[in-house]
Every structure is written in C-alpha cells, then in structure tokens.
Structure 1
C-alpha cells in the first residue's frame, strides 16, 4: 500500500525557504486581483461537470492556444511537490505522483496559478541537481524545471488562486428557482454562471 506524502511547497521555492516575507500592505489588492483573475479564467474556461483536471487543462490549452504537459514525478522528503516551467512551445507542470488525486489537483492548480499570473523567479540549481531530483525525465525536460524561487507574495497569490479554482471545481452551483427574484436569487444566478 502506497502512503500519501504531503509536500508543503512548490518547486519555485529554494530548499529551506518558504517564499520570503509577504508585504501585508498589498494583501487586500492581491486578494481582489486573485478573485478577479479566477472570475476571468472561469468565465472563459468553465469547469467541467463532473470535475476532471485533465478535461479542464485541455480547455485551458484551447483557450490559451498553448499546450500544457502534466508530468508526474516522485516526491522525496524535503523536496518540492510541484513545478511550472514555461518552454518555448508549451508549458510543463510537474506534480507529485504518489499522493491523493485531490492533492495532485491542488498542486497542479497552484502551478497553473503561477502560469496564469506569469510569475517569474531566479535559477537555484544546476541541470545535474534537477536530474537527480527527477531521474525519469528526459534531460531536455529538466532544464531549469525545478529551479525557481518566487516571492512570498507570488506563493500566496498562487495558493489563493488554487484554492479558489478547486473550490469552484468541487462545489455544485446553487439551485435557483426559475421564478425567484431579489438580491439573493441574482447572486445565486451569477455564482451558478461562474461555476457552471
């Protein structure tokens, strides 16, 4: 029996770091921006019902006009659980292979958030170190795959967007009676349209 391993950080973080400090003065704007980004994405790329990350990623690819390859990798304690790497012709997202489907979806959503926000970082390890972390991937795929350090603000934003996306993916739109009226009915219709 394989046990699930919870890896608390994405590959964009350097070993031993948690993304640095968050400037709390901008959190209100960051949260509002994240919510707006999620509304925009979900307005253009609706969540499939029933939920499927693969189907939603296919829809994201069509919307963006750019392929997204999802690559499962083995997790090792102390190492990141996910990574996004923009390649010349496509985006590569690595995620932990041996964990629950919900955890995998969360890791992928977090990395998709980095992608949608176009977060950048700085190189932290060599290709040989990256190859040691993911020995089953081709060397071309490893080039700076596990090598980004982002700010705490970027990590916070990616995590918030991942939570908002998965909340939309796993919640059912509210049922609204066709003849219902008033503020609550209108809000429920807007939410149903956003989630549907």
Structure 2
C-alpha cells in the first residue's frame, strides 16, 4: 500500500471509532445515528437534474441548524449510498468549501429550494477527487462501507461484501 493511502487511512480511522456502524449496514440507520450524535437533523435529498449540468453527483449543505446531503438519483443504489457516505465523510472531517458556490446566484443557487442561501454555512460539491479533502472523504466513505471500526479490524458484516471478505480471508489488519 502506498504511503499516501496509509496516511489517508490513519487520518480517517479515529473517526470510525466514534461511529456506531449499523450491523447489517443501512444508510438510513447510520444517518439517524449521525443526526443524534451531532445533535442536528440530517436530511437526504435526491439531487435535482440541473445539478448534473453543474458537474455535481453529491453535495453537503450545512445550515446553522441542519445538515442536508444531496445525491445523484439516477444511479445504482450502491452508488447512491457511496455518494451519501462520501458527503458524510466531508461532514465528519469538517471540510469546508475552498470556493464560494453557495453564494446567491451561483451555479448551485437553484438547489436550495426552501433553504435561504444566507442560512447556508457550508456547501461542498465536487466533480473530481484530486484534492486532499476529496481523497479523505472518499477514504472515509470506503472504510465506513466496508465495516471498519477504527481499531484496524473489520466488523463482520453479513452483506455480500462481508461474506466475500470472510470466504477469501481478506483482512485490512496487515495493510498498514
């Protein structure tokens, strides 16, 4: 494993220990847990069609009181879940947008619906994975989905991936 990947894993693993990953995994259960953990509602929304024109497949909007995650709806369920987990990664890693797409009149202004752009504190929407923030969010999403617990050991999820890992004897314990 490359040094860069190992460094990303080390950055993300401590956050995993704070999560109560549902077993079997369910994105809705994880979102309910995160909402309680953060003390603020977490809402999931399908991403409006016009967002594809702006190059987004998912985004996280944080207001003063709530979190909103938008995901591409015209893709496989597993991909939708990964998009949500990626945005959860941004949220847990406390990433901030480095540009101002949340400004009124910006390319994402139509997505707000009932949200006043003045209430939006953070909005992340990305189209590539070349930045450190994107790589961290992607790593955390993958670790959550594979059942990592933050201790370097996997929970034994009962889904197809967990059964395949168990059958093949795959473990991430030796990867660092």
TM-score by length of 2: 0.68
Q: Which residue of 2 aligns with 1:131?
A: 109
Which one of 18, 23, 32 corresponds to residue 41 of structure 1?
A: 18
Tell me the SS of whatever aligns to 1:70: strand
Counterpart of 1:32? Answer: 10
CA distance in 2, matches of 1:28, 1:41: 20
The 3 A distance-change label for structure 1 pair 74 and 117 is same
CA RMSD, 1 decimal: 3.3
Which string of whole-angstrom CA distances, capped at 9 and with x for unpartnered residues, describes residues 119-168 of structure 1?
A: 11233334223234x38x22526957756679711110100111111112
Partner of 2:141: 162
Instruction: Show the counterpart of 1:63.
Output: 37
Q: C-alpha separation between the residues in 1 aligned to 2:77 and 2:65?
A: 27
Out of 72, 77, 88, the position equivalent to 1:101 is: 77
Note if contact 2:46-2:71 (Cα within 8 Å) is conserved in structure 1. Answer: yes
Structure 2 unaligned residues grouped into runs of 5+: 148-156
Aligned residues: 149
**Mapped partners of 2:120, 2:35: distance in 1:** 22
TM-score with structure 1 length normalisation?
0.62
Whether the aligned pair in 2 keeps the contact of 1:34 and 1:161 (CA below 8 Å) is yes
Q: Tell me, which stretches of 5 or more residues in structure 1 are unaligned? A: 1-23, 176-183, 192-196
Q: How big is the shift at 1:36?
A: 2.9
Runs of 4+ off more than 6 Å: none
Q: Which structure has the greater CA radius of gyration? A: 1
**Cα distance in 1 for residues equivalent to 2:13 and 2:121:** 30
